[in-house]
């Protein structure tokens, strides 16, 4: 990921509605959610939702597909992963203290790895 893509992704994430949107779509999983359902869930007007969805999609953080009358949106996990990786690799130079924080996140996985280890 290059700097301009990372900036686009960070700008896209730097808004309350869009952060809620990402959270909701991760909760929805790979199946995604129709725009109308998202609007009802978050209480956003159609045009406002469309605006924010477009920002997230342009930033590569979500994807969409049309199914009949509906447009289904779903997260692009790799897009968000690449953004986080950019922060860790290119901005922090893999700073151990930051990585330690990041490790804390995947707590479930870390524990599983510990078990695997013995």
Name the residues that contact its own copies, by CB under 8 A. 3, 6-7, 10-11, 13-16, 19, 22-23, 26-27, 75, 77-78, 80-82, 84-85, 87-109, 113, 116-117
d(CA 64, CA 46): 16
| Concatenated DSSP letters of 56-118 | HHHTTSEEEEEETTEEEEEE-HHHHHHHHHHIIIIITTT-HHHHHHHHHHTHHHHHHHHHHH-
Q: What mask, x for binding DNA by CB under 7 A, covers residues 27 to 56?
A: -------xxxx-x-----xxxxxxxxxxx-
Q: What mask, x for binding DNA by CB under 7 A, covers residues 6 to 25?
A: -----x--xx-x--------
Nearer to its own copies, 46 or 102 (CB): 102
């Amino acid at each position: 990921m290059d700097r301009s893509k990372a900036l686009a992704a960070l700008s896209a994430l730097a808004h309350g509605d869009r952060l809620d949107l990402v959270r909701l779509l991760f909760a929805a999983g790979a199946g995604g959610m129709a725009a109308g359902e998202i609007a009802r869930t978050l209480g956003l007007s159609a045009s406002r939702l469309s605006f924010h969805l477009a920002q997230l999609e342009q930033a590569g953080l979500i994807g969409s597909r049309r199914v009949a009358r509906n447009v289904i949106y779903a997260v692009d996990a790799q897009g968000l992963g690449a953004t986080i990786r950019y922060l860790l690799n290119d901005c922090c130079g893999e700073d151990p203290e930051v990585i330690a924080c990041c490790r804390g996140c995947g707590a479930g996985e870390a524990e599983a790895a510990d078990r695997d280890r013995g």
